[in-house]
């Protein structure tokens, strides 16, 4: 993993990237052996023969010998000698000089001077020489960090910006070149100067210096272009036309859009003409922006990190009149880029319905992700919900369907919620005999979208049968059946191996079960909404072209559950190929200890999209599903076959947080299992008194509505429980006695015998 990071950061040779490269080198350098290791090595190796000759001293190149004999003393002389010795391929001979250089106690100014005189390439060379590690890499890092601090010093940057007023072209050019080392801080200093009255006669020099900042200037200037409302935006447009393709795209909307400030439109158009030779047609520009926005939104194209490997967004801060950076994850950066292009296309063709839906979908997806992450900023987002509520039902259905099919769950959930708010149940009948988009969303693999669609259907409260109503009942049962705990399954051909893996999952906080066949795995995984992780031994997953993973991904109940294919080193390549074919899947090297299991599980769950809903959210959804079921049992019993939810409601009755809602629903089901479960709950002294009383009340309601559905043996068991309760507390005796009273009263009523 460390090697990947080092390679990724070694492409761009600015100071931040060079420091990152050298830091990787320091981290990768071997550590000196501990005393214990040295003792162990001494015990393992035979003692050296006392008579054995000492190794011959290294024969120095005459040039190296001459350099050492010249006794360099200054920092410049020492570093130059070290680099020459490295080039002569005798780096070991440079060790004394390097130690002397590091002992000189150079301050930041001296180190920055070394970086300026020798260049970053020299320090990359020094940091990469194995014979000089770790000291060489450490010294190189210190020098370049000092150079970076010096380059970004506000006083230095202010002085260089001031030099741009000079009448000398050479001095202005030199100042602009030195500003490049200041990176983002230099860009901000130049942008601040654009609004300084003393620079109004020197704006061309400022723009030229900003253009020399190249990629570092693009995003801050786009923030100025989109946020500033005065001449600042015009100046930003003139510079962006000189900064490449990505910057040119930001000019499409101000150059070709509707209701743009004439001065800004002229500047953006002029910049585009100079960059491209001619302005694009409005339709062509909007179509290009639309294609790019859609590609970023659907994940076909991704935002690129900056030179330091980070994703940074810039926005205009009106009070300070400066662009402000914010570090984000890769997906957020990609979505924001999609939104920029969609906004630009819509400004050019504001009445195009496809552009409107795409822009709104991106806004809603961003808002949904920020809400889920707890990072929502109220004034940073337009009121997408208000705009959503203004759409007609047909457009809402299209927006829901498009986003559900593309996997944009937050945007689709928002559309489903607004459809529910409409109060118009006709949306459930729009595509008979096929299910409507809203009902189809009830079957979506994404849990939160499925619940949002279910909530909308319940809110619409249909009065007549509609296509897909059975899916609604299945979803209600699915959400009601939680046990409120994270669960996992470990599947392996040998039971001892399955149990070993399950044991490690228990140590990680899962309620884990061990199985030995794919059939058992599928049965368990689809039986509960609580499964957060599935481990499948490669010997089960690989045969039949990985059909077990295909089955897991086809079922909406398990489509988004992370799956690990656990393999030996021999099977690992095949396991990796299989996992690569499925989302939220990874190949695990067979873990031998808890640390190995923890590392691989955390890596699999690192993506936010792979993380399951937390137990608290599942419990809240279960409570709501049980309430909806009780509502349907009272008002629409003929519209839904509620017998299909008997088992999940029965399981929910034993979850403390769900007992009250589940017992209420069991009282309405009218089945033998429901009545048996209520009796068990009411009779158990280990259950809370409130839960036992709720079960008793529900049992009475069930008897009144459906009659006695218990067997003779089950009734006899209740009499036995009562007879054995003499040592129980008074409240328990009262409950057991009341159960018998209810049974006898119903029996008397059924026999028409007066009490």
Kindly state the average pLDDT of the residues 233-255. Answer: 91
At residue 327, the 3 state secondary structure works out as strand
C-alpha 596/C-alpha 600 separation (Å) is 6
Look at residue 29 in the predicted model and tell me its pLDDT: 40
Q: 374 falls in which pLDDT band (50, 70, 90)?
A: low
More confident residue, 28 or 651: 651
Look at residue 143 in the predicted model and tell me its pLDDT: 84
Look at residue 55 in the predicted model and tell me its pLDDT: 44
Q: Give the closest residue to 413 by CA, choosing from 429, 428, 396.
A: 396
Lowest mean pLDDT among 16-25, 197-206, 341-350, 485-494: 16-25
More confident residue, 50 or 325: 325
Look at residue 531 in the predicted model and tell me its pLDDT: 93
pLDDT over threshold 60, residue 50: no
Look at residue 646 in the predicted model and tell me its pLDDT: 92
Domains recognised in the chain with CATH numbers: 2-36+59-151 (no CATH), 214-348 (no CATH), 353-467 (no CATH), 487-611 (3.40.50.2300), 640-750 (no CATH)
How many C-beta atoms surround the C-beta of residue 728 within 10 A?
A: 15
CB 483 within 8 A of CB 528: yes
C-alpha 726/C-alpha 720 separation (Å) is 11
Look at residue 38 in the predicted model and tell me its pLDDT: 43
Sign, Cα dihedral of 441, 329, 318, 346? negative
What long-range pairs does 349-355 form, CB within 8 A, spacing at least 24? 349/282, 349/283, 349/286, 350/258, 352/286, 353/395, 354/290, 355/286, 355/290
Per-residue model confidence as pLDDT tens digits over 589-607: 999 999 999 999 999 988 6
Kindly state the average pLDDT of the residues 313-339. Answer: 90
pLDDT over threshold 60, residue 80: yes
Q: What is the 8-class DSSP label of residue 466? A: -
Kindly state the average pLDDT of the residues 238-260. Answer: 91
Q: What is the residue-averaged pLDDT of the chain? A: 85
Look at residue 328 in the predicted model and tell me its pLDDT: 87
More confident residue, 536 or 29: 536
More confident residue, 460 or 127: 460
Look at residue 230 in the predicted model and tell me its pLDDT: 82
More confident residue, 162 or 566: 566
Look at residue 373 in the predicted model and tell me its pLDDT: 57
Look at residue 430 in the predicted model and tell me its pLDDT: 84
Percent of the chain with pLDDT over 70: 90
Q: 104 falls in which pLDDT band (50, 70, 90)?
A: confident
At residue 589, the 3 state secondary structure works out as strand
Lowest mean pLDDT among 13-17, 290-294, 477-481: 13-17
pLDDT over threshold 50, residue 332: yes
pLDDT over threshold 70, residue 65: yes
Q: Which two tokens stand for residue 283?
A: 């339709």
Q: What is the 8-class DSSP label of residue 296? A: H
More confident residue, 654 or 39: 654
C-alpha 375/C-alpha 508 separation (Å) is 28
Lowest mean pLDDT among 378-392, 625-639, 650-664: 378-392
pLDDT over threshold 90, residue 693: yes
Look at residue 110 in the predicted model and tell me its pLDDT: 85
CB 652 within 8 A of CB 629: no
**Phi, psi for residue 358 in degrees, rounded to 5:** -65, -45
At residue 535, the 3 state secondary structure works out as strand
Look at residue 160 in the predicted model and tell me its pLDDT: 86
Q: Give the closest residue to 564 by CA, choosing from 594, 530, 589, 544.
A: 589
pLDDT over threshold 60, residue 39: no
Look at residue 754 in the predicted model and tell me its pLDDT: 54
**Cα–Cα distance list, 661 to 38, 480, 623, 647, 695 (Å):** 66, 10, 7, 15, 10
pLDDT over threshold 60, residue 52: no
More confident residue, 144 or 610: 144
């Amino acid at each position: 993993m460390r090697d990947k990071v080092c390679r990724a950061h070694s492409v761009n040779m600015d100071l931040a990237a060079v420091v990152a490269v050298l830091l990787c080198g320091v981290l990768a350098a071997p550590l000196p052996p501990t005393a214990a290791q040295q003792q162990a090595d001494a015990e393992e190796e035979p003692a050296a023969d006392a008579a054995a000759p000492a190794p011959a001293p290294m024969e120095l190149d005459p040039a190296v010998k001459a350099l050492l004999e010249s006794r360099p003393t200054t920092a410049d002389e020492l570093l130059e000698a070290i680099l020459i010795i490295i080039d002569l391929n005798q780096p070991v001979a440079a060790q004394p000089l390097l130690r002397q250089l590091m002992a000189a106690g150079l301050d930041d100014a001296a180190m920055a001077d070394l970086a300026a005189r020798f260049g970053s390439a020299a320090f990359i060379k020094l940091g990469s020489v194995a014979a000089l590690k770790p000291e060489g890499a450490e010294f190189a890092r210190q020098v370049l960090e000092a150079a970076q601090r010096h380059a970004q010093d506000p006083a230095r940057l202010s002085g260089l910006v001031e030099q741009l007023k000079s009448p000398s072209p050479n001095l202005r050019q030199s100042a602009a070149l030195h500003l490049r080392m200041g990176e983002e801080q230099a860009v901000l200093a130049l942008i601040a100067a654009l609004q300084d009255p003393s620079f109004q006669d020197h704006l061309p020099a400022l723009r030229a210096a900003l253009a020399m900042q190249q990629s570092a200037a693009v995003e801050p200037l786009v923030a100025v272009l989109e946020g500033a409302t005065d001449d600042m935006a015009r100046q930003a447009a003139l510079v962006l036309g000189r900064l490449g393709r990505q910057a040119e795209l930001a000019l499409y909307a101000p150059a070709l859009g509707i209701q743009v400030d004439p001065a800004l439109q002229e500047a953006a158009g002029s910049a585009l003409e100079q960059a491209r030779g001619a302005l694009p047609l409005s339709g062509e520009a909007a179509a290009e922006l639309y294609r790019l926005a859609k590609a970023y939104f659907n994940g076909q194209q991704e935002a690129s990190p900056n030179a330091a490997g980070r994703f940074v967004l810039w926005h205009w801060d009106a009070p300070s009149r400066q662009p402000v950076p914010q570090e984000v994850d890769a997906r957020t950066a990609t979505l924001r880029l999609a939104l920029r292009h969609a906004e630009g296309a819509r400004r050019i063709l504001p009445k195009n319905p496809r552009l409107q839906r795409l822009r709104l979908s991106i806004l809603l997806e961003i808002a949904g992700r920020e809400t889920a992450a707890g990072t929502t900023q109220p004034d940073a987002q337009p009121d997408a919900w208000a705009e959503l509520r203004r759409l007609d039902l047909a457009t809402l259905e299209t927006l829901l369907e498009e986003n559900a099919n593309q996997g944009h769950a937050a945007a689709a959930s928002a559309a489903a919620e607004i459809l529910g708010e409409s109060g118009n149940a006709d949306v459930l009948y729009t595509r008979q005999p096929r299910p409507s988009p809203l009902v189809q969303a009830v079957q979506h693999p994404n849990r939160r979208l499925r619940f949002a669609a279910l909530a909308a259907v319940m809110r619409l409260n249909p009065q007549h049968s509609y296509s897909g109503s059975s899916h609604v009942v299945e979803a209600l049962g699915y959400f009601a059946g939680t046990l409120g705990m994270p669960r996992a399954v470990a599947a392996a051909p040998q039971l001892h191996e399955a149990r070993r893996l399950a044991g490690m999952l228990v140590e990680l906080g899962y309620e884990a079960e061990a199985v030995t066949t794919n059939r058992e795995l599928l049965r368990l995984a689809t039986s509960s909404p609580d499964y957060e992780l599935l481990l499948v031994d490669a010997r089960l997953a690989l045969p039949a072209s990985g059909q077990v993973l295909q089955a897991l991904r086809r079922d909406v109940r398990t489509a988004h559950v992370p799956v690990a294919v656990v393999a030996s080193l021999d099977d690992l390549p095949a396991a990796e190929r299989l996992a690569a074919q499925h989302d939220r899947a990874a190949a695990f090297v067979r873990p031998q200890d808890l640390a190995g299991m923890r590392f691989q599980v955390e890596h699999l769950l690192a993506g936010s999209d792979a993380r399951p809903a937390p137990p608290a959210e599942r419990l809240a959804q279960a409570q709501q599903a049980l309430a909806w079921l009780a509502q349907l049992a009272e008002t629409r019993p003929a519209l839904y076959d509620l017998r299909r939810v008997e088992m999940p409601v029965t399981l929910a009755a034993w979850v403390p947080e769900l007992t009250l809602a589940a017992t209420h629903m069991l009282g309405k089901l009218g089945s033998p299992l429901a009545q048996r479960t209520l009796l068990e709950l009411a009779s158990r002294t280990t259950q809370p008194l409130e839960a036992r009383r709720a079960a008793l009340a529900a049992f009475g309601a069930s008897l009144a509505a459906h009659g006695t559905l218990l067997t003779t043996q089950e009734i006899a068991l209740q009499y036995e429980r009562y007879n054995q309760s003499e040592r129980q507390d008074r409240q328990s005796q009262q409950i057991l006695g009341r159960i018998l009273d209810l049974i006898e009263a119903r029996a008397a009523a059924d026999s028409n015998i007066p009490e």
